[in-house]
Amino acid sequence: MAAPAGARRRGAVQLARFGADPLAYLDGARALEGDVLSTRLGSKTVHLVRRPELIHAALVDEDWPPFSRGRLMALDKWYSGGLILTEGAEHHRQRDTLWKPLLEDPRTLEVARERTERWAGEIEGTIVELFSASRAHVWGIDWAALTGEELTPELLRAQEAGVAALVWLLGPFGPRRWSTPAGARTRAARRRLDAAIDVAIAARRAQPAGDLLSRLVALEPDDQTVQATVKQWLGADQLMGIFTWGLHLLARHPEIEARWHASLDAGDTGYTVRVIKETLRLFPPVWSFFREVTADYRLGDHVIPEGDLLVLSPYFTHRDETVWEEPLRFDPDRWDVRPAPGAYFPFSAGPYECHAHDLAMREAVLILTTLGRRLRFKPMREDPPRPLATGAIVPKGGLRMRVLPRG
């Protein structure tokens, strides 16, 4: 049954407010009360889950109907298959037989160590826009670990175009835009990246090399699945957010930065882990997860009707004063105590948890400690950057920082 006209109008207004600034919209919802906060966004009724116990229940039950990935399937325009666009047995097959061996392979960390040492020397004494510089660095690590080659500027631009497209593809008119002249640049970027990956796959089918792609093609006979896996390996890497926001927070809190440097000088990485966890709490790599309910779903005392959207938002929950004490304060020491289930989920949780989270944490510690032992980062502006929700949380207008030697 169609929604009443008044509800449709209210939904359109709320959708416009949400679309203009999703993070501000979520911040405004904190004034509301309830375990589940419901509203209408456009034609959809959405339910934002607030209570951590209910968040945890929804996440760990995610492998069980009635959840659907909904608009996430629009990303097939860029990926053409792969792990994040599969469900059930095929999802678990790709997770266990393709991704797990690659994630456990030590080559990624070996490449990250060598390239970060080199990168630290290149940026010392310069001014960098930290988000874009970090993004190029981590994608360069990924590509080198996969292929043993440098990520060329042309392929970097193609990957940037693809990641930008992932945002608008999830919108209500995203799939339609793909086929229009407005999507021509992205389609061309996909062709360039696909062609480079296809050449690399064919070369390793003929003669394996000592890289992750050679291992992948040995595990998977279907070239299209291999190609999608390579693109999702690149697209899933959100470490640039940890470095951008983490170094920003440390620079804004000199006493914490000094303690961090002291821990590095003592050879201790434990405090770095706390810094990273606290950064992920304030600036999670994915700000919200949306799940369409394909049958009535009971969550605690609430019933989410078929066709509605369930929203689980790390950004909302991690900054909720009903869940965290002084949630906006940057405090790595809060990680002396383990949070309650459902209070902290930067990598999601349950069967569809980010499968790379262990590698991401190890790589983040390695890169951040390598930078911190040698460098310090000074913001070029006094006012802090405004966080902007895209596919990740990025600093609006960038974050320019002066890179200085420690000493």
Which residue ranges form the domains of the chain, and what is each CATH number? 1-61+287-345 (no CATH), 62-286+346-405 (1.10.630.10)
Q: Is the pLDDT of residue 53 over 80?
A: yes
Per-residue model confidence (pLDDT) at position 3: 42
**Cα–Cα distances in angstroms (integers) from residue 126 to residues 122, 346, 377, 399, in the given order:** 8, 32, 10, 14
Are 311 and 48 in contact by the 8 Å Cβ rule? The answer is yes
Quickly state the pLDDT bin for 71 (edges 50, 70, 90). confident
Q: How many CB atoms lie within 10 A of CB 80?
A: 15
Per-residue model confidence (pLDDT) at position 354: 85
Residue with the larger pLDDT of the pair 34 and 351: 34
State the DSSP code for 297. Answer: E
Per-residue model confidence (pLDDT) at position 9: 58
Q: Which of 12-21, 191-200, 372-381 has the lowest mean pLDDT?
A: 12-21
How confident is the prediction for the chain on average, in pLDDT? 92
Give pLDDT tens digits for 222-276. Answer: 999 999 999 999 988 789 999 999 999 999 999 999 999 999 999 999 999 999 9
**Which of these, 386, 385, 275, lies nearest to 24 by C-alpha position?**
386
Residue with the larger pLDDT of the pair 119 and 42: 119
Region 140-168: mean pLDDT is: 96
Give the C-alpha separation, 324 to 372, whole Å.
28
